[in-house]
Structure 1
């Protein structure tokens, strides 16, 4: 970003008292900066109540020290969020993934933009809800098995659910088809369905963020050339940092060349990461498995994932790392290294190649290959779920290397657990709990070609009658 003029929102009529709506003033400042060829739009100290803010190219939106941008509530305040724009390609991902304009801050087709702190976004008026995907299959795989079968809505009921979202905001920040984006040094409390939904973004830097929210933290969907560093993300109800390749842009597009380094993810009670208390009263996520808060690739996986590194990260009271392709995408050349996990609420490592195929006609089974995980230490692991690598009989996971790994489980597994027959469930939503209690306490691998273990240690805090490792159709 080049040196640019400063546009203070108070000069455009913003009050910043938390009572008056400042939407028009903030958007007027952005429009003035755009007419000037770019600029820095500043929210100084104060509380700014707002509906949708529309980003423009060559704009830096700065929340200064002591500035709070509060998402207005259409049930209490006089206004609405921008309507969710039409999307002819909304069949294969849920409502939240398919629309961007219904957000507190949104931009489409913008370039050279920045959102910077040190101020805060409070999404108090956002909703975390939204309709599911209206795809035409039997809806097996729409949600985790732990929640029971999905309800198949009639066309009229789905239309009513979508209409009910009009006027509501369900994301704090959403960008579509953007280039050269910087997001840094912000704090986000309660970000709606997604604190950040970034779709089709090329060239992204996210650094120094603190996010404490009630659903997803950061979703990178069909994003290329991104660096995420020094992030603290707490999401007990959903994923903290998740990479996806949905069909929301109407084409199969990859997520590639992504570096995630020096980040901390967790599943403490919502809001308690920011206040420092790190509460543990919530035990289950909405899917009825234990709290989430992890880093994941998938579940939306129509496009490919390649050249991705997750390094020097800490997982606290969260699920482990998950790498999943179930909608036809290829996952390849992934490195996970130098990871510490404490109090792991499901499997510490979960690789799944499945056959949901939630995509256009002709979608085929994907592939997963060349996955390297090294220098990973995990303690306090839920003993029900071993590290799991699960391909399909005709579509094995290929070339997985596990090295310098030490996993400590709670123990307590029985001989009955060891004798379980694990179902294949090719079409199911991928979660470690989908297979039930693991028949091994350390590693369960099935349908894998080219598996290497070097200096891998499995330990238990109490005796466990299951074997360390169980392999089924593994070379």
Structure 2
């Protein structure tokens, strides 16, 4: 049996914990106004900003492009190596409306992930194969003219493409969210997109209403994202096939999709792991769009576009072709959103993951969701993945939707292995019935992974199905109102060890 992850494994992502230095070229200053930028909110300023970036990149050591206070209406801005962009206080880069963005690349048949994951140039700001780049300062990026939509994957199997909560949507409703690829020409659907970058720093600024992705980083190494405030339409920070990456001290509000998500898709044409990633001191939420930034933190939106409750969480998955290893998530808060999700459904092994010191309030689905599935969205030979060597400790969650217990769900022939839950406190709203307790959901191996996929769980606190070597050390469960279900339900769990858990077998 493999040794479970322990506190000593906090050495996870050692390479990622080396803070990236501010680029040495910062002293070479170029003002975008010297290249014709107006900053009046009317002129199209992306040509001037691109000219300033090109001028900085032409210097042997690169340079820094400064964007003073003003509103700069832009189509695509193209990053160059050894160039820093500084957004001054009061500077806003605004995504222009219309079809003036760079065209999406022709990447051939991108079968295994959606359009948004498979293209980078159709963005407000993009960089491909760039090194030693920074975007920093206290200004803002407003994705006013970006679209949140895009086609889904063209995978022939079409299994597990959408959450089961979308089953009742009409074809017209789905088509509105997933337009044909030809309709995307000239549109921008990401605020910042990075492909195969090296030594990238994003810090200090605010992002609002940023389309499909506020930040998409694919195949990027040495990425440091810190002190950002993001309040956006869909995904906040997507880290796909990245390595040696830190995300820290960020506030990310995404009621309609995931806030901080680590993926390992097939977007680069091969299976690449996400590894050595640290997410720490971040706050994620699913408040109404824009209300984190304005401070009102409203909660009037009842459902996300997938017809489930507001999203806004930290997640590993759904795309998992390359797997995940050496991931640390610590000292983060979740508010009015779904809980922590660790998923592998497209092959790929998830191992050596530590999540600790998490505070959760008003959780809209399950507080913890560990899922192995058998979607296998990938080329021939893609197998079933694995989850092993996961430590989750010091989690305090309350106000949890009564329908969904914490869930650990493997498959009959592929159990979740060697997970340790330590010092976990979960308080649910209560209200489940004896009829709920009698439910026995199907395996749903090929379905899109979401806690709601199984319906109301048969236990209110913890539901485990197909696990091996699970250790529960200090699990405290409570309900605000009575619940007619048992606190636990465990099915097909071998080598289970439970200590310091008073309600066990109650």
The normalised TM-score by structure 1 is 0.97
Question: Conserved in 1, the CA contact under 8 Å of 2:149 and 2:179?
Answer: no
What residue is the counterpart of 1:27 in the other structure? 50
1:297–1:322 Cα contact (<8 Å) kept = yes
**1:48 match:** 72
Instruction: Provide structure 1 residue ranges, at least 5 long, that are not aligned to the other structure.
Output: none
Match for residue 112 of structure 1 among 128, 132, 136: 132
Match of 1:343? 362
1:469 maps onto 2:491 in alignment? no
How many angstroms apart in 2 are the aligned matches of 1:429 and 1:184?
Answer: 33
Corresponding residue for 2:349? 330
| Equivalent residue runs for 1:348-387 within 5 Å | 348-387=367-406
Q: Are 1:122 and 2:142 matched, yes or no?
A: yes
Relative to structure 1, the CA distance from residue 107 to residue 435 in structure 2 (aligned partners, 3 Å threshold; closer, same or farther) is same
CA distance in 2, matches of 1:170, 1:25: 22
Q: Which residue of 2 aligns with 1:68?
A: 92
Can you list the C-alpha shifts for 1:417-457, whole angstroms capped at 9, x where unaligned? 11111210000000000000000000000000001111101
Answer yes or no: is 1:12 the counterpart of 2:31. no
The offset of 1:183, in angstroms, is 0.4
Aligned-pair CA distance for 1:88: 2.5
Shift of 1:320: 0.2
Contact 1:202 1:225 in 2 (8 A): yes
- Within 5 Å, give how 1:116-195 maps onto structure 2: 116-137=136-157, 139-148=158-167, 161-195=180-214
Contact 1:327 / 1:356 at 8 angstroms: preserved in 2?
Answer: yes
1: distance between equivalents of 2:179 and 2:323?
33
Aligned residues: 467
The residue aligned with 2:19 is none
* 1:146 match: secondary structure: helix
Cα 1:160–1:207 change in 2 (3 A) is closer
Corresponding residue SS for 1:24: helix
Structure-2 separation of matches of 1:425 and 1:161: 29
Aligned residue for 1:223? 242
- Change beyond 3 A, Cα 1:203–1:89: farther
Distance 1:351 1:158, change over 3 A: closer
CA distance in 2, matches of 1:174, 1:129: 16
Deviation at residue 342 of structure 1 after TM alignment:
0.2
**Which of the pair has the greater relative contact order for Cα pairs under 8 Å at 6+ separation?**
2
CA distance in 2, matches of 1:50, 1:455: 53
Cα distance in structure 1, aligned partners of 2:453 and 2:38? 51
2:504 corresponds in structure 1 to none
CA distance in 1, matches of 2:55, 2:169: 48
Per-residue CA deviation, residues 107-136 of structure 1 (Å, 9 max, x unaligned), is 000000001121000000000000000001
Deviation at 1:158, TM superposition (A): 13
Q: Secondary structure at the match of 2:470?
A: strand
User: Which of the residues 24, 36, 40 maps onto 1:2?
Assistant: 24
For residue 10 of structure 2, what is the aligned residue in structure 1?
A: none
Do structure 1's residue 234 and structure 2's residue 253 form an aligned pair? yes
CA distance in 2, matches of 1:160, 1:184: 33
Q: Give the match for residue 257 of structure 1.
A: 276
Once residues 391 and 437 of structure 2 are traced to their aligned partners in structure 1, the CA distance between those partners, rounded to angstroms, is 27
TM-score, structure 2 normalization: 0.91
Secondary structure of 1:25 counterpart? helix
CA–CA distance in structure 2, aligned partners of residues 151 and 449 of structure 1: 40
For 1:455 and 1:328, how far apart are their aligned partners in 2?
32
Instruction: Give 3-state SS (helix, strand or coil) of 1:341's partner.
Output: strand
Kindly indicate whether residue 301 of structure 2 is the aligned counterpart of residue 282 of structure 1.
yes
Cα RMSD (Å) of the superposition?
A: 1.5
Is the Cα contact below 8 Å between 2:150 and 2:179 reproduced in 1?
no
Structure 2 runs not aligned, ≥5 long? 1-22, 495-506
